[in-house]
Amino acid sequence: MSSIIQLLPDHVANQIAAGEVVQRPASVVKELLENAVDAKATDIKLIIKDAGKALIQVIDNGVGMSVTDARLCFERHATSKIRQAEDLFSIHTKGFRGEALASIAAIAHVEMKTKQDQEELGNHIIIEGSKFVSQEPAVLPKGTSFAVKNLFYNIPARRNFLKSDTVEFRHVLDEFQRVALAHPNIYFTMYHNGSEMFNLPNSNLRQRIVTIFSGKTNEKLVPIQEHTDILSIQGFVGKPEFAKKNRAEQFFFVNDRYIRSNYLHHAVMNAYEGLLPNGAQPSYFIYLNVPPHTIDINIHPTKTEIKFDDEQALYAILRSAIKHSLGQFNVVPILDFDRDPNLDTPYDYQNKSAEYPTVQVDRTFNPFSDEKPTHSNSSGSTSSSFKKVDTTQNWESLYVGLKQDTFEIDNFSIENDEVTASFFDEKEEEQVAKHTYQIQKKYIVSPIKSGMVIINQNRAHQRVLYEQLLTNMTVQQASSQQLLFPLQVSFSVNELKIISELQPALETIGFVFSWESEELNILGIPSNTTESEVKLVLEQLVSDLQDGIPDSSFSQNDTIAKSMAKSLAVKTGMYLTEKEQENLVNNLFACKEPNVSPFQKPTFITMRVEDIDKRFTL
């Protein structure tokens, strides 16, 4: 029988490897930026077009490569980072497996220009689909320039799986921010379609965070720092009052490498226990430095997950460091049982002397005298006079006419309180029953002929708001209440971009915006929204659209209506008056689809009398 196992050609193997390394344009951005950092660059420029689909170019002023290295770097498993297997456990650099450039060259047009400082000429290499088109010397500045064009040009099936430019650009932005946050000592600039998106000069860690996430971020940050034999922790955490609905501003870095760790995230949330409302997420920028031999960074293809030797110790130290910082900077309320606040002197009276009261006595006053006495002050001068009123004279006249049923004033007949009638008799008042009842501030019970209906107040209100919002978006006649003073809400660059793309749809439901460099001025809000709810509504909307904005207008409107209905609906635990309960029930059954919420969950259940009777049968 003939052999059926055969070796794959190099170009096929490279394309298969590219499926693991290069998932989208953001993957290329990550690899090229990390290579520039490993090249000891101090100035890195990122240029992209069409969200990276047409062009991804990274220019650095690093050490460059020789002629041999420039050709060899595109071979599979060619790397300068490791020499033997033991080196995998002492990694100090970003890339180390030697697969990135070979995989990128297999699925794109790559143009590389590189030059070392001591060389007079550099190298210009052009590769298309793993095939070297040309390699020639050229006059170049120090450093390396990688230009990746037409990504997935030879794999159209992979290119069809890419999302819209908005979604892909957001992923590119995330990768750029992660590398820039990990290296505040490097000058980063980013350009998209010819316009400058970021200009980040080398600075300290706090300034880099503030520059990326707008100027309002500075007042949110609380520094943390802890040094132990196991690890060193530094960075910043956000104050509880600035917590958001999404996890957009949460970053872990281990040895200057961005990672994801649900275990360490749980430690952070544990430190904030009791300080955050339900569903809120704090911001944090935490940098961990651990010995390289205590971690394994080669357990995930994208190297965003790391295995620690002693996770429990890291958990406890991180949790304690955050709690200590929150208490040290008076973010957490502190109780002092030895201090009595009632004994504190008000600020207005700290430097004032006590004023003693004076007593004034009129020794000539006689309460039984019919004469008009005079009241004199302490100096003897008469300041005022008063006359003793005889309160006992004609006192019987005060009670005249009180026992009469009616008395007339200017021809108007007014009934006495004693004969005021009631709208219902006492027996009838006892028989009048309420139409709805609220149970546990969560469910509304309404009796019907066949039994009763139990309504989930949160889901029911979501359905009502959802259909109202969709109607307003379709008809475009939503009412808007103009604000006397505009609301200023701060968002990151990425969040502002999402809101700007949704601006036409948001204006159809009553929002009115004006833009500044890093802030959003809200001039008008929907009539069913309060000022305190605006920021929560927009944050929830941005959180729901982190994975991408739908292309069609109907899908956009549907997503916005669902998000706002979830934010504005009455929550579990909210007391509703009888009138509010009745309005909610009536509005629910006036909807087109009252049976389910916008998220396809039941809004009410019906219990028949027969079902209740069965519960009482033995």
Assess whether pLDDT exceeds 70 at residue 90: no
Q: Give residue 504's domain range.
A: 443-605
User: Is residue 492 located within the same domain as residue 546?
Assistant: yes
In a domain, 346, yes or no: no
The continuous run of DSSP H or E covering 35 comes out as helix 25-38
User: Is residue 245 located within the same domain as residue 167?
Assistant: no
Q: What is the structure's pLDDT at 456?
A: 93
In a domain, 334, yes or no: no
Query: What's the pLDDT tens digit per position in 148-176?
Result: 999 888 888 888 888 888 788 888 998 99
Instruction: Convert 523-559 to b/e letters by CB count within 10 Å (16 or more is b).
Output: ebbbebbeeebbbbbbbbbbbbbbeebeeeeeebbbb
In a domain, 169, yes or no: yes
Higher pLDDT, residue 97 or 371 = 371
Q: Which of 278, 308, 328 is the last residue of a domain?
A: 328
User: Is residue 239 located within the same domain as residue 180?
Assistant: no
Domain count along the chain? 3
Beta strands in 266-405 (DSSP E): 284-289, 295-296, 307-308, 374-376, 382-385
In a domain, 149, yes or no: yes
User: Is residue 110 located within the same domain as residue 255?
Assistant: no
Average pLDDT over residues 314-334: 82
Running DSSP on this structure, what letter comes out for residue 281?
B
Q: How confident is the model at residue 603 (pLDDT cuts 50, 70, 90)?
A: very high
User: Is residue 222 located within the same domain as residue 193?
Assistant: no
Least confident of 16-30, 41-55, 461-475: 16-30
CB atoms within 10 A of CB 86: 9
User: Is residue 508 located within the same domain as residue 594?
Assistant: yes
Assess whether pLDDT exceeds 70 at residue 59: yes
Q: CATH number for the domain including 101?
A: 3.30.565.10
User: Is residue 93 located within the same domain as residue 241?
Assistant: no
Q: Which of 304, 328, 352 is the last residue of a domain?
A: 328
- Whether the CB-CB separation of 597 and 455 falls below 8 Å is answered with no
Assess whether pLDDT exceeds 70 at residue 78: no
What is the rounded distance in angstroms from the CA atom of residue 173 to the CA atom of residue 284?
Answer: 18
CA angle, 174 then 23 then 6, to 5° = 155
User: Is residue 47 located within the same domain as residue 158?
Assistant: yes
In a domain, 18, yes or no: yes
Q: CATH number for the domain including 459?
A: 3.30.1370.100
Average pLDDT over residues 531-544: 82
Tell me if the pTM is above 0.75. no
User: Is residue 235 located within the same domain as residue 163?
Assistant: no
In a domain, 423, yes or no: no
User: Is residue 189 located within the same domain as residue 308?
Assistant: no
User: Is residue 449 located within the same domain as residue 587?
Assistant: yes
What is the rounded distance in angstroms from the CA atom of residue 308 to the CA atom of residue 89?
Answer: 12
Q: What is the structure's pLDDT at 549?
A: 65
In a domain, 266, yes or no: yes
Q: What is the structure's pLDDT at 414?
A: 47
Assess whether pLDDT exceeds 50 at residue 435: yes
- Whether the CB-CB separation of 39 and 64 falls below 8 Å is answered with yes
Residue at 176: amino acid letter: F
Query: What's the pLDDT tens digit per position in 358-397?
Result: 888 888 888 787 665 555 454 444 444 444 455 555 666 6
In a domain, 85, yes or no: yes
Q: Which of 268, 301, 328 is the last residue of a domain?
A: 328
User: Is residue 499 located within the same domain as residue 591?
Assistant: yes
Q: CATH number for the domain including 320?
A: 3.30.230.10
Q: How confident is the model at residue 419 (pLDDT cuts 50, 70, 90)?
A: very low
